Structure 1
């Protein structure tokens, strides 16, 4: 497979994953990775709250793996078409993504632990502070989205000469 075909294949994976997973995914995954509001009033003991919050951990791990697909595409694109300036921007993307993933996981785990306020007597009030983490996550995600979009656009644009691909002159 030549480099152009590999770049096109990565673009087919990158763009849908960027838009569907990063733009629509947070709404779906938040609902799936937190304790439901119907279950919360039924929980009576600290161990029950803890068990429900710990049950969300596999979904949080899966969520972060799925969110990593655009970052993996950027890293693969950089292996196909290496460029030092883009490599530094990809490293910045990775750092922003890791910080965002950790903050998002703490927020969703804390939301499950507190369970809409029902678990507050059982746990430290610090877990209640996780309700402010979406604002921090937004501050990290805006530059991450812009950087990933611009890198994806730069990598998926055709940079080679079309005359060279056809083996001669244009018709």
Structure 2
């Protein structure tokens, strides 16, 4: 039987987990991509390699903030696993952490590369390899789909009650156990 403190902690984690999963993971990428890349109005004004580098490097704080915010559901899963240790779920959380790290790296490279190349304006200044970053969203989707499914299923499993309803039966003296 779970004690009330653990149940309250699980509920609190669920209150943080579900909104952060839906708002940050499903809506956030669109907002953060717009905020973390060099704007299309700035790109034509950039003329030197140093300007392109400065513009792309200016996106780094937003990329760090973005990944910290995206990590909130993963942190909730880790905390849930501390409350209810189960080896099978622990292995799945490790897989989530690895997929999240890969997705974060791919996303950061994509957004940084987009700012660096700046929709083609920076092509003469940088290696053509940076143009390949335009294909990273495809790789990111391949990583994110299993990550989203796994995180969603783990969140669902952790946020549902697992205590035995037969334990809440009334005792002969009238109290509930």
Same fold (TM over 0.5): yes
CA deviation after TM superposition for structure 1 residue 167, in Å: 6.7
* Partner of residue 92 from structure 1, selected from 91, 95, 114: 95
1:51 aligns with 54
**Equivalents in 2 of 1:126, 1:84: separation in Å?**
42
Kindly provide the CA deviation profile for residues 31-72 of structure 1, in whole angstroms up to 9, marking residues without a partner as x. 000000000000000000000000000000000000000000
2:34 aligns with 31
- SS at structure 2 position matched to 1:140: helix
1:22 aligns with 25
TM-score, structure 1 normalization: 0.96
1:111 aligns with 114
Cα RMSD (Å):
1.5
Alignment of 1:150 onto 2:153: yes
**Equivalents in 2 of 1:112, 1:96: separation in Å?**
24
- SS at structure 2 position matched to 1:121: helix
* Unmatched runs of 5 consecutive residues or more in structure 2: none
CA deviation after TM superposition for structure 1 residue 133, in Å: 0.2
* Unmatched runs of 5 consecutive residues or more in structure 1: none
TM-score, structure 2 normalization: 0.92
**Equivalents in 2 of 1:50, 1:72: separation in Å?**
33
Q: CA separation of 1:167/1:155 partners in 2, compared to 1, >3 Å: closer, same or farther?
A: farther
Q: CA separation of 1:119/1:3 partners in 2, compared to 1, >3 Å: closer, same or farther?
A: same
- SS at structure 2 position matched to 1:135: helix
- Higher Cα Rg, which structure: 2
Segments of 4+ moved more than 4 angstroms: 165-170
Alignment of 1:122 onto 2:122: no
**Equivalents in 2 of 1:139, 1:165: separation in Å?**
45
- SS at structure 2 position matched to 1:35: coil
